[in-house]
Chains A and B, each alone.
Chain A
Amino acid sequence: MHHQIDALAHTNQLRSLPPEHKLGFAAALFVLGYLAPAFVQLLIVLWLFIWVVRYAQIPAKIYLELLLLPTSFLLLSLPTLLVGISTVATFKNIEPDVVWGMAVKPLYLYLSRQGIEQATAVFTRSIALTSCLYFILLTIPTFELIRILQRLGCPPLITELMGLMYRFIFILTGTVGELLTAQQSRMGYGTWRIGMRSLSLLIGQLLQRTLNTYHQLSLGLAARGYNGDLRVWHSRRYKPDWRYATEAIAGYLCLLLLTGWHYWRT
């Protein structure tokens, strides 16, 4: 999944837009999504869906699958908010909060009005904020995010480590893929028992090979004059698009006004 997201971040149709503009847009929506009422949060989800699927040309199926991932975790946690437990004897105290309930003596299980409100707030907020994060992940390649962090004054040690980790993820998954294929070609996962043995071999080999790759990469760095600093140069190939900028600013102001109107009314 990581490689797929990374590949989409490199090939999406919003790639040519300045990454700081996209990050700024998503960050502003993130803040608004946190503070706004539920209906505005849902509007954010819908709007970002249009940005990701229509403008960035990310396949809707992939985007929905990605959204489903955190949503399933969220749905699992919702029953604890929705369902209240009391005793039949104290039913009178909770009666105003009960939407629907049933007695399982001596307990009383009920759907809580307050719980529904909380669950709605948690659900819409989470999905809105997740959409913002996915917008960043799917339209801005990792190394561009690292560059932005560098420009924002993040310590070089952290950004260099992030860059190396990003590179290592690919080397590591490549090694896992090779080992797995080699094992499968020799019936390494025929039965559960053999599979477990192959898996332990794979993990052991992976550690060994990772250490070896690390050593070779260190030599590679040294051969290219590494002096303790992983500094690189890059040209700027981005083109701001006024059409997108206008939509982003106008849309954001509308959402902001809707939020203001909501809080003014209540």
Chain B
Amino acid sequence: MLISFEQINYTYPCNPKPTLRELSLEITAGKRYAVIGQNGCGKTTLFRLANGLYQPSGGTVRWNNQPLSYRRPALYQLRQQVGLVFQNPEEQLVAATVEEDLSYGLCNLGLPDSEIEQRVQQTLKAFELTDLADFPVNYLSLGQKKRLAIADIMILRPRLLLLDEPTAYLDPGQVRNLRQMLTTIQAEGTTLVMATHDLNFVQDWADWVIVMNQGQIVMEDTPTAVFSRQHFLKTMGLS
């Protein structure tokens, strides 16, 4: 078991209604998971709990069968292994140029410059960003920002990659590129979990589909099984 959620409850301070209610989920290594559900069902919150950004108000999150520790050193280690790509890449890009932004996470790990340089060059090449290495982040297109946000996380070589609405704002061509990119990432041994509204993408791409509704998991199965239950999906507002 890579990561598991046991009876998780989470309530935002400004919202009296819990966002996640008694949610339990297990993610095993090597698979491609898709999380679907209406807006506000708790997908983003689930991802932020997995990355240790939020602490559940009830229940336990386990990484490698060990309960998460919310102490700083433990969180650094966790975030190196559990990468989270935000829905809006603007919220994740912090440095001035593409190259600098890629190096940010590696610098936080305290790696030597020679290794940082090697990994940055490799990642620039893998994500077709070499020509943009010295380009200012502020002038990138949204598609390029998205690609950079994924590269920023992948450079840390996480074991689990969480993608929050990766196809949002992307045109069909960029979605195709993203799909190819994800195939390569998975081939390198990374487990992928994606929250999305793009049901066509899910149907073709995922190994396992998790359906969420009002802070709970209401169904999980193979795409064929999930999408065969059209009536159920319709009641969830997902058809």
Contact = CB atoms under 8 A, between A and B. Distances in A.
Decide whether A and B assemble into one complex: yes
Interface of A: 6-7, 10, 141-143, 146, 163-164, 166-167, 170-171, 213, 216-217, 219-227, 229-235, 237
Main secondary structure of the interface of A (DSSP, over half): helix
A232 B95 contact: yes
Contacts, number: 105
B48 A219 contact: yes
A229 B99 CA distance: 17
Interface string B123-134: 000000000011
Contacts of A223: 51, 53, 79, 84, 86, 92
Given A219-B48, A223-B51, A234 B94 contact: no
Contacts of B34: none
A219 B108 CA distance: 15
Interface string B102-117: 0111111100010011
A143 B96 CA distance: 6
Interface majority SS (helix, strand, loop, mixed), chain B: helix
Contact of A220 (B86, B117, B136): B86
B76 A10 contact: no
A225 B84 CA distance: 11
A234 B103 contact: yes
A147 to B, nearest CB: 9
A164 B96 CA distance: 9
B24 interface: no
A235 B101 CA distance: 12
Nearest to A15: B134
B136 A141 contact: yes
A219 B107 contact: no
25 contacts: A6-B138, A10-B136, A141-B96, A142-B96, A143-B95, A146-B96, A167-B93, A170-B138, A213-B91, A216-B86, A223-B84, A223-B92, A224-B153, A225-B76, A225-B108, A227-B76, A229-B108, A230-B104, A231-B107, A232-B95, A232-B104, A233-B113, A234-B99, A235-B117, A237-B133
Contact of A224 (B72, B96, B108): B108
A213 B88 CA distance: 10
B134 A224 contact: no
Contacts of A237: 133-134
A227 B137 CA distance: 22
A166 B93 CA distance: 13
